[in-house]
């Protein structure tokens, strides 16, 4: 199982990174092949809706010469995409939003003169996020947006782990760690069952 973690936090020792640690450890116990991309380390230009990417139905095709071409290849090679981000104003951080805008065009060849495929059709997507408000009021819009994004892109949405920051000195505790590990097990089980069903 190849896992690509798109990490949208600017803080390498922040809350979202802390939640990811036990999740990654647990998935590695199942011999998952993981790669984490810190999006703030990449040059990600915003989409300008020029539709140049729609001229080639089998590759990314974006005219913007930045690091999204590298990210595109890594996403295309994986089985599971993890979108990890803190919530800023009820949605993901800026580099993740810019990347999602670029990928929805570059991956989905729906918008040109000739309708083409979704190049990432069938891949699974899960969310790991942290927020300050109660999850049902802090992360709900983000989750709803990604569910719609996945349906449009022919991706399989398989769940979200969300933890709240109450402003205490230490964000992580044993309960949050256990939630993270259980989420990894849940994700692994879903993918294993999916692989078995596909190979029957």
Longest Cα–Cα distance in the chain: 55
- The C-alpha atoms of residue 195 and residue 12 are separated, in whole angstroms, by 33
- Residue whose C-alpha is closest to residue 62's, from 15, 110, 106, 18: 106
Average pLDDT, the chain: 95
Angle at 32 between CA 3 and CA 74, to 5 degrees: 25
The pLDDT of residue 18: 97
Look up the CATH number of the domain holding residue 111: 3.40.50.360
Higher-scoring residue by pLDDT: 23, 200: 23
| Token code pair at residue 78 | 């994986």
Beta bridge partners of 35: 4
The pairing of strands 33-38 and 80-86 is: unpaired
What does DSSP assign to residue 120?
T
pLDDT, tens digit, 9 for 90 and up, residues 45-95 = 999 999 999 999 999 999 999 999 999 999 999 999 999 999 999 999 999
The pLDDT of residue 169: 78
pLDDT, tens digit, 9 for 90 and up, residues 164-186 = 998 877 899 999 999 999 999 99
Question: pTM higher than 0.75, yes or no?
Answer: yes
Count of structural domains within the chain: 1
Place of tokens 């993890």: 82
Four-point Cα dihedral 81, 148, 8, 119, nearest 10: 40
- The C-alpha atoms of residue 3 and residue 6 are separated, in whole angstroms, by 10
pLDDT, tens digit, 9 for 90 and up, residues 103-117 = 999 999 999 998 999
* Residues 75, 120 contacting (CB under 8 angstroms): yes
- The C-alpha atoms of residue 152 and residue 130 are separated, in whole angstroms, by 25
* Residues 86, 129 contacting (CB under 8 angstroms): yes
The pLDDT of residue 200: 64
197 pLDDT tier (thresholds 50, 70, 90): confident
Domain limits for position 25: 2-198
């Amino acid at each position: 199982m190849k896992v690509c973690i798109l990490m949208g936090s600017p803080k390498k020792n922040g809350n979202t990174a802390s939640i990811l640690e036990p999740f990654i450890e647990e998935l590695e116990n199942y011999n998952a092949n993981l790669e984490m991309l810190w999006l703030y380390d990449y040059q990600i230009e915003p989409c300008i809706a020029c539709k140049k990417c729609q001229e080639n139905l089998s590759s990314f095709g974006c005219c913007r010469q930045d690091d999204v071409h590298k990210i595109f290849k890594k996403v295309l090679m994986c089985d599971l995409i993890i979108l990890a981000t803190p919530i800023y104003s009820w949605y993901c951080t800026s580099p993740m939003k810019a990347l999602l805008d670029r990928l929805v065009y570059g991956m989905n060849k729906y918008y040109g003169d000739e309708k083409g495929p979704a190049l990432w059709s069938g891949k699974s997507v899960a969310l790991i996020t942290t927020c300050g408000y109660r999850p049902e009021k802090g992360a709900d819009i983000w989750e709803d947006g990604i569910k719609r994004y996945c349906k449009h892109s022919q991706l399989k949405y398989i769940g979200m782990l969300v933890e709240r920051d109450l402003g205490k000195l230490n964000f992580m505790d044993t309960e949050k760690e256990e939630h993270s590990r259980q989420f990894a097990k849940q994700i692994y089980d879903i993918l294993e069952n999916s692989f078995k069903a596909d190979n029957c």
